[in-house]
Chains A and B, each alone.
Chain A
Amino acid sequence: MSHEDDKAWESFAKKAESPRIPTPKEAQEIFDAAGTEALTSEVSASIAEQVLAGKLRGRAPRCANDDWLKAEEQRYLRDGVRQLNRNKGDEEAEDDDVLDRLKSEALDDDDDETSAEN
């Protein structure tokens, strides 16, 4: 990614933020025009408990594709270690296969990017 592309986007995104934080007057208008979503008494009680305790009930942070990430990270670490520990003259067919696969995946990434652009 070009740093210049990011800078250009971020400078405009700041001015065109949407939804932007409303002014006090707008916020009051939004509130007045709003519908409602009912809460059960259990949920209301839970919220009151959290507010008075001064902290939200702990919830494990989410991470999308968590399992995929774990598997991918493990594979990359394993392959990276294999590559780092490879001494000149000690090449093994299995290591060569891994390197070929990594090169092929890197090239595939380029292909994905090109096809996504088209």
Chain B
Amino acid sequence: MVYGPHVNVPDPRTYADSDSIDYRDMDENIFQAIRFKLQPPMVWAKRQANLAVPTGTNVTIPWDVIFIDTHRMIDTTVDATKIIPNVPGRYKFIFGTYFANTGAITGRKVMWLKKNGGFTRRHERRFSNTNPDCRLGARAVTQFMNGTTDYVQMAVFQEQGTSQNITQVSNTELAAYMYMRWESVT
């Protein structure tokens, strides 16, 4: 799903009495500005294939299904891990992952939101007993992105002692997902 025409945040302006107003003012400064709010920049990336996560190692997730990318913010031919917003603003991120059923998961399981390669937000679970699987899911954070060089990734980490997979259970329970939506100018 790709739509437009805006890839820039609408530019608010103030009119003076002496301004002559034509259809472009009505279209670009009013209609399209509202349209931008009704169709904000958005990405929904999924990881469907299994991905091995060695113990004690941060693994950045390459997305293999791009469900929504309204403004072409992921180029999987260049780097399938990066979402590079081309519209500046504060974005809302929702992300989650699923560690496979191995019969006995122990130790920490962690997921991260990475901004520009650094680890910014994380969600962690620590296990004190035996569990057949592990969901880290449905967490929301916000980050400001400059619309040019800033990018985000998602990483996972675990310390079971052996390599573990994140894996897809069904079309709704994914190995991992990242949803991003433009929220506001600042």
Task: State whether these chains interact.
Answer: no
